[in-house]
Structure 1
Amino acid sequence: MRMKTVLLSFPLLFLILLGINLIFVSSRPTPMVNQLIISSIGDASYLNPVLAQDSASSDINGLVFNGLIKYNRDLQGFVGDLAESWEIRPGPEPEITFFLRRGVLWHDGKPFSAEDVKFTYDKIMDEKTQTVRRSDYELVKKVEVVDPYTFRVTYKQPFSPGLGTWGIGILPKHRLEKEDINTTSFNRSPIGTGPFRFVEWVSDEKIVLEANPRYFEGRPQLDRIIYRIIPETSLSEMELLTRGVDYYGVLPHQYQRMNEIPFLKIYSQPSLSYTYIGYNLKNPLFQDKRVRQALTHAIHREEIVQYVLYGFGNVISGPFPSHLWYYNPNVKPLPYDPVKAKKLLTEAGWRDTDGDGVLDREGKPFRFKLITNSGNDIRRDVGVLVQRQLRELGIDVTFETYEWSVFLKNFINAKHFDACILGWSLSPDPDDYMIWHSSQIEKGFNFISYVNPEADRLWEEGRKEYDLERRRKIYWRIHELIAEDQPYTFLFSPIGISALQKKFVLVERDPSGREIYRPIQMEKAGLMYDLIKWYVPRGIVMEK
């Protein structure tokens, strides 16, 4: 689940961060000067933005497909993508009218139109479509194709995140209207409107994209992008150091070594994500919030940040990354306090009555299994530390890892788990309704089965409110409620680190048409925000 710090393919409000362990490393591609080779810890699942839930798929979908809009580089608003502009008519049933770009072509040469936008919406709302995106559009009253280049959406009520939801990748009607979207071969060989078009997918080995020569913003400077599936972090590091890959999401313990390599540039910034331990609230062990609070008090999160993240992260107190405007600074993380943890457990009826070192209640020991996905070194190390710390408290914890697809299908989606270590990557907008609202237990991402009527009401209220300060108050109160309930032990929000070979530059043109090279910089929206301008010069470029 944890992979990179770039902003994931918008508008997936939250994606399960991927980490996969496979059995072999792909062979190196044929060397080319003007290509980007990316090390990916896990394979994609669906190259279809309506179906994809993981970051590996999302990264690639973001290059193959376009939404109507996208975040600007500062994450402070939106700019047009497939839409050139839009108009918002406020009111009790607000409308958004999108004016679409003309002359946009799908990768197969067919023209893009408003019919494709309506088709994508219809597929999302079709109950047969296996998507978790539906809740983003449940407040839509109707959609209209006004003309081939005008698309209008009307909402049942005010919906402040509404504009942002139209950043989802648009699908081609002409290619999919007669197919089952869940099983179509399109999901492994897609066509989009994006800057790069699909070439090849060799499972568990590589995914290859090439520049779209007819892209509406101009042909990308890079000729190809190759995602190499390299499951082991040590092998990814070796490939980076021997120039077998160009870009890699660096783990904290690798930072010092990577920072000393002269041909690499290291980038870092706070990420739009956090890591947590989620408790299955259907399990009687975790239904008393005193128990959940005790577990958090018993876990030394500062130690995790220091020794697992090497300081590249911050302990958080609730369901938002700590650097965002809707994080409530008045809610402090529960401190590491084993004495307080023991007291809370005693109040909840857990004592070691038989002297075997394990707490028990009504003859049953406090015993559970903590699970996570294999291939993610940080989660593995967190699990080992948590297991030790909880055992010191008298809780018998076993810790196991599972291959990603097995982990997701057999445990998380099936709700067949006690506790899990996972992470969310979030949108800059605080509407995490899909994770926390009780209506999303069966059809969204609320797989821990969390229910809080006041929080439900506030999530609904937050969706109706447009005023920034009033929204802040709503989400601050949600933060307070969830921090009190502790359905998760909120572990940390990491500082993301990535390494890129210095041979890449941004290429732009001055008013006279002369090419200008400048260094690639980290944007708030991610390192790859200007990817279509990346280039490998054939001559010498002076470094700043």
Structure 2
Amino acid sequence: MMRRIFITLIILLLLSNLSCQRVSENIPGAAGAKEVTDHKPAYGDTLVEGTIGEPSILIPMLAGDSASHAVAGLIFNGLVKYDKDLTLTGDLAESWDISKDGLVITFHLKKGVKWTDGVEFTAEDVMFGYKTIIDDKTPTAYSEDYKQVKKAEMPDKYTFRVTYEKPFAPALSSWGSLPVLPKHLLAGKDITKSELGRNPVGMGPFKLTKWTPGSEVVLESNPNYFEGKPYINRYVYRVIPDPATMFLELQAGGVDWMGLTPLQYTRQTQSAYFEKNFNKFRYPVFSYTYMGFNLKHPWFKDKRVRQAIAYAVDKDEIVHVVLFGLGKAATGPYVPDTWPYNPNVKRYEYNPEKAKTLLLDAGWKDTDGDGLLDKDGRPFEFTILTNMGNS
């Protein structure tokens, strides 16, 4: 059974973002970009991005996969956002004040911003979203940040204030797109059954116009976007689960932009053809792959079992063999050398013997000689769920 664990598990890996874009979509100033003579933007055209995974739901606080967040990120807004330099800046918040002790944040909201159905955005929407995300009935993985808030207030229609029990480092950054919802459409309803999960109403630069399951998600520019109409008229996500097939579509012009696998980046895009016809980029990104345990499952309630699995995975081998060195074994969701990164978090080195010992201590052993660990007559087997295109 230990051998099976080695094959199927991928533990937390920090990745570099690898992407390829046709030269016709030049980005002036980008490394490797071809020379362009006219930098003046113009309205129109469609950008087609390839994605291996299809969104599951487009309400941000309910989404647990990157495909959903990628699409929802073009539809919804938060009070704050990161700019291109990863500096926090205002989004729906015009400005904010932080008390000297860091416990109180007062957001001053932009006025005149409207949801795509024409209703004005106010502090009521932020308060409603906040109360929804901390509700135990809401199946979200992101509630803990908001449960640190001791008190939430609306001094007026365009002001939202939160007070924390104690200093909380990510307090400001947590007020992104997750907790802002249209109260006028969701109040008194079960958010998990709302039609907005597949037909969202947002305030972002794009709005959903078509979702063909297993095929594509089509967005059109929001002409009333409060920061100005986007220059791109349509943004299309084509769902292509197989990266090799997507790569062929890129070469054929079926997609304009895709993330590259390590193999594609290092071995399949070095030709003169690609140098001439595509721009290729590599940059660090807040992205990671991890295995999350269902702590309601009796096996995974035992800390020794979780630790055994961590010891059983050769993470460095995955980085060097599977990712061609384009990644790094990680201990959490933060990129090394950023302010929240803690280099002192305990690391689980590859140690299969220690993994076997921990499982034995937890009662798992091969009692019938079939090569599989078992306990109480049940073999140590479990299912790992992942999105399409990952294996």
TM-score, L = length of structure 2: 0.75
Which of 176, 190, 194 does residue 186 from structure 2 map onto?
A: 176
Say if 1:184 and 1:299 are closer, same or farther in 2 by CA, change over 3 A: closer
Which of 142, 156, 161 does residue 170 from structure 2 map onto?
A: 161
* Secondary structure at 2:192 match in 1: coil
Say if 1:242 and 1:121 are closer, same or farther in 2 by CA, change over 3 A: same
For the Cα contact (< 8 Å) 2:54–2:388, is it kept in 1? no
Give the letter for the 2:215 counterpart.
Answer: E
Give the letter for the 1:250 counterpart.
Answer: L
Say if 1:280 and 1:86 are closer, same or farther in 2 by CA, change over 3 A: closer
Q: What displacement does 1:331 show? A: 6.0
Alignment partner of 1:140 is 2:154: no
Partner residue in 2 for 1:236: 246
Q: What displacement does 1:239 show? A: 1.1
Partner residue in 1 for 2:32: none
* Secondary structure at 2:232 match in 1: coil
Alignment partner of 1:112 is 2:121: yes
Q: Distance in 2 between matches of 1:135 and 1:38?
A: 33
TM-score, L = length of structure 1: 0.56
For the Cα contact (< 8 Å) 2:75–2:203, is it kept in 1? yes
Partner residue in 2 for 1:217: 227
Q: Distance in 2 between matches of 1:102 and 1:39?
A: 36
Partner residue in 2 for 1:202: 212
Which of 203, 224, 232 does residue 193 from structure 1 map onto?
A: 203
Q: How does 1:478-517 map to 2 (within 5 A)?
A: none
Give the letter for the 1:309 counterpart.
Answer: L
* Secondary structure at 1:74 match in 2: coil
Alignment partner of 1:368 is 2:378: no
Give the letter for the 1:186 counterpart.
Answer: L
For the Cα contact (< 8 Å) 2:62–2:139, is it kept in 1? yes
Partner residue in 2 for 1:397: none
Partner residue in 1 for 2:321: 307
Alignment partner of 1:85 is 2:95: yes
Unaligned runs of 5+ in 2: 1-9, 18-42
User: For 1:462-496, what per-residue CA distance to the aligned partner results, in whole angstroms no more than 9, with x for missing partners?
Assistant: xxxxxxxxxxxxxxxxxxxxxxxxxxxxxxxxxxx
Q: Distance in 2 between matches of 1:285 and 1:64?
A: 36
For the Cα contact (< 8 Å) 1:197–1:211, is it kept in 2? yes
Q: Distance in 2 between matches of 1:132 and 1:338?
A: 31
Say if 1:5 and 1:55 are closer, same or farther in 2 by CA, change over 3 A: farther
Partner residue in 2 for 1:38: 49
Partner residue in 2 for 1:459: none
* Secondary structure at 2:381 match in 1: strand
Q: What displacement does 1:148 show? A: 2.5
Q: What displacement does 1:113 show? A: 2.1
Q: Distance in 2 between matches of 1:131 and 1:205?
A: 26
Q: What displacement does 1:141 show? A: 3.4
Unaligned runs of 5+ in 1: 7-31, 381-544
Q: How many residues align?
A: 349
For the Cα contact (< 8 Å) 1:314–1:322, is it kept in 2? no
For the Cα contact (< 8 Å) 1:315–1:333, is it kept in 2? no
For the Cα contact (< 8 Å) 1:208–1:226, is it kept in 2? yes
Q: Distance in 1 between matches of 2:373 and 2:355?
A: 15
* Secondary structure at 2:241 match in 1: coil
User: For 1:152-202, what per-residue CA distance to the aligned partner results, in whole angstroms no more than 9, with x for missing partners?
Assistant: 223344333222221125222333336443222222222211111221222
User: Relative CO higher for 1 or 2, CA cutoff 8 Å, sep ≥ 6?
Assistant: 2
* Secondary structure at 1:118 match in 2: helix
Q: Distance in 1 between matches of 2:190 and 2:353?
A: 56
Q: Distance in 2 between matches of 1:72 and 1:194?
A: 15
